[in-house]
Structure 1
Amino acid sequence: MTMIERATPIENAVPPTFEALLRMVAEMDTPDGFKAELIRGKIVVSPFSRLRYYRSMRALREQLQAHAPEGHVADIAPFLFRFPQAERAYGPDLFVTDESAFDEEGRHADGEALSLVGEFTSVSTRDADWKEKLDVYGRLVPVYLVIDMQDSEITCFWDPSPHGYRSRRTVSFGEPLPVPEPFGFELDTTGF
């Protein structure tokens, strides 16, 4: 007798709640060099940014920290920020957030504390950075930077609304990029 393995649908399966998914992510033993995020209602494990991205990430972090709102910190640490209304949780490549976000218990910071997010695209994350995350960040986070490493461009989105960002500007690496309030400075992209 030969048995063939095939997927068996589960009838009336109830998908896990957002909170249950967050608990699963917290309990995961994610391999070193990888991060887990909640994207489109699923746990997605992807590698941290490539080594060659580090210099650009550091240059961006240093410039943002110098112009961050009072009480905010710019970092590239692998923290997960939750967005309960959208039932999403992301681990941005770079973020600027109110330091009070780290006063909470638990492992997931409140997305409402973010003043800026920066995502460095890769072949595996590009779609999520440009679509999924743009939609979620665009309703809450004051400034979103997409550093497109494949096209050597950086795009700044700002002025969030219930329908997404209302403003954007794109420049090629090497050109200055105005970063609006609450930062209010011109980003030097020559090191990217």
Structure 2
Amino acid sequence: MDTPDGFKAELIRGKVVVSPWPALRCCRPMRLLREQLQAHASEGHVAETAPILFRFTAAERAYGPDLFVADEEAFEEEGRHADSAALSLVAEFTSVSTKDADWNEKLNVYGRLVPVYLVVDMQNSEITCFWDPSPHGYRSRTTVSFGEALPVPEPFGFSLDTTGF
């Protein structure tokens, strides 16, 4: 699907949802997050903000995370949807229009498969790390205010510096 410049499309609850890319004020924290994650990513994994859709077959959904870390081999396939099994982390930067989906639908879907999910809450100046996925969702979470260190568990295993957020 071709979207207008500045917009992305995701499949949410069986519907195509077109939403704008993150606001300008997300640029710096997104870059800082990507750089720190890339430095701690597993070999062969890449941290990206590219507009890529990942298919979650069991949930019959596809999402285009604001930022992701995934096995580079996932991008050697044909087609427009990468396999969500390649993901080691996803991060969503909340906005007024996406906050509900980031905290509910995406949390539910990611929590069954993706090892680490970061919600960068731009409205409340907080970041939450979810980890330990299960068939019922994530088993663990930690929230800190921007400026505080956030422990990011394996497969990353480091403290994220949120000072510049």
- Whether TM exceeds 0.5 here: the answer is yes
Determine which structure has greater relative contact order: mean sequence separation of CA pairs < 8 Å that are 6+ residues apart, divided by chain length. Answer: 2
Q: Residue 73 of structure 1: which of 46, 49, 63 is its match?
A: 46
Q: Which whole-Å CA distance do the structure 1 matches of 2:90 and 2:32 have between them?
A: 15
Q: Secondary structure of 1:136's match?
A: helix
CA distance in 2, matches of 1:150, 1:40: 25
Q: TM-score, normalised to structure 2's length?
A: 0.99
What is the Cα-based RMSD across aligned positions, in Å?
Answer: 0.5
- Partner residue, 2:13: 40
In structure 1, runs of 5+ residues without a counterpart are 1-27
Matching residue within 78, 90, 94 for 1:117: 90
The 4+ residue runs of structure 1 with deviation greater than 4 A are: none
Aligned length: 165
| Aligned amino acid, residue 102 of structure 2 | D
Deviation at 1:110, TM superposition (A): 0.4
Give identity over the alignment, percent: 83
> Which structure: larger Rg?
1
Deviation of 1:131 after TM superposition, in Å, equals 0.2
What is aligned with 1:183?
Answer: 156
- Aligned pairs for 1:57-136 within 5 A: 57-136=30-109
Q: Which has the higher strand share?
A: 2
Alignment partners' CA distance in 1, 2:145 and 2:158: 17
> How many Å separate the matches in 2 of 1:174 and 1:191?
7
Residue from 26, 37, 40 that aligns with 1:53? 26
Q: Counterpart of 1:25?
A: none
Three-state SS of the structure 2 residue aligned to 1:52 is helix
